[in-house]
């Protein structure tokens, strides 16, 4: 093998190895437990879907537990039934009660547990989705839902790693980003009130009148020039 051929062979080996490493690193990311949608608005109610894929080839997922954070409680949590799965919602007393529609809430959901019957476990190559309605969405930057995934062989995968800037967690927890309420536009009634109070819209020239004055002056000059031109135009000779 010549030196040039050997160099090309080494380059090909390095390329294949790099591609294999990239492929392997992408496999676990596809198997993460996630929550959808990715974001919700402060004060609103969100339909949250927890998607749980099976990342093992020799066991089925038989139980899923999702913890709701203590520092960002939801006043109301309701569960959509999942065929073949039983669900239990645990609650805890709140150190500081929260308000919901003028009602004081003293306890909130702390954990949701889904357990499959024998025929409904998530088999290898499959995934299951669990729907939850929760609200009002607390006024925080994000809500982290730590989850546990239990397999039929007894293995438990803890999806509890919180996101950190610049780091990729090995077992990231599902995260819901919280966005502020949109700023409401002024209503027609408010606009009418401003008019009634004597408020007037600002002029497009900034209130100094210069553009309008210059336009008028230019028009006057143009008319004067036209008059002079007409006055100086020779008339036809009389017969």
- Are 27 and 3 in contact by the 8 Å Cβ rule? The answer is no
Whole-number pLDDT of residue 200: 45
Confidence of residue 183 (pLDDT cuts 50, 70, 90): confident
Per-residue pLDDT reduced to its tens digit, 5-53: 555 655 554 444 444 444 433 333 457 999 999 999 999 999 999 999 9
- Are 162 and 144 in contact by the 8 Å Cβ rule? The answer is yes
Collapsing DSSP to helix, strand or coil, 151 comes out as: strand
Return the closest-CA partner of residue 124 out of 93, 87, 151.
151
Whole-number pLDDT of residue 220: 55
> CB neighbours of 220 closer than 8 A, spacing ≥ 6?
none
Domain 29-179: CATH superfamily, name plus number: Uncharacterised protein YcnI-like PF07987, DUF1775 (2.60.40.2230)
Report the C-alpha gap between 181 and 43 in whole angstroms. Answer: 8
Confidence of residue 157 (pLDDT cuts 50, 70, 90): very high
- Does the model's pTM come out above 0.85? no
Q: In what order do the strands lie in the sheet with 127-135?
A: 34-36, 46-53, 127-135, 76-79
Report the C-alpha gap between 37 and 115 in whole angstroms. Answer: 23
């Amino acid at each position: 093998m010549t030196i040039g051929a050997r160099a090309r062979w080494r380059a090909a080996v390095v390329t294949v190895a790099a591609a294999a490493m990239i492929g392997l690193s992408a496999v676990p990311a596809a198997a993460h437990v996630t929550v959808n949608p990715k974001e919700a608005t402060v004060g609103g109610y969100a339909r949250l879907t927890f998607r749980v894929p099976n990342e093992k080839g020799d066991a089925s997922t038989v139980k899923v537990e999702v913890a709701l954070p203590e520092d960002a409680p939801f006043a109301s949590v309701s569960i959509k039934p999942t065929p073949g799965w039983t669900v239990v919602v645990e609650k805890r007393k709140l150190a500081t009660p929260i308000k919901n529609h003028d009602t004081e809430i003293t306890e909130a959901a702390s954990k949701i547990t889904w357990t499959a019957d024998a025929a409904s476990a998530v088999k290898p190559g499959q995934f299951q989705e669990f729907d939850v309605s929760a609200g009002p969405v607390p006024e925080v930057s994000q809500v982290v839902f730590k989850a546990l995934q239990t397999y039929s062989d007894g293995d438990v995968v803890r999806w509890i790693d919180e996101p950190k800037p610049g780091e990729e967690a090995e077992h990231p927890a599902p995260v819901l980003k919280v966005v502020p309420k949109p700023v409401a536009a002024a209503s027609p009634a408010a606009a009418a009130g401003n008019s009634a109070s004597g408020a007037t819209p600002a002029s497009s020239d900034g209130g100094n009148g210069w553009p309008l004055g210059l336009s008028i002056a230019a028009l006057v000059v143009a008319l004067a020039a036209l008059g002079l031109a007409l006055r100086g135009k020779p008339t036809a000779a009389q017969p």
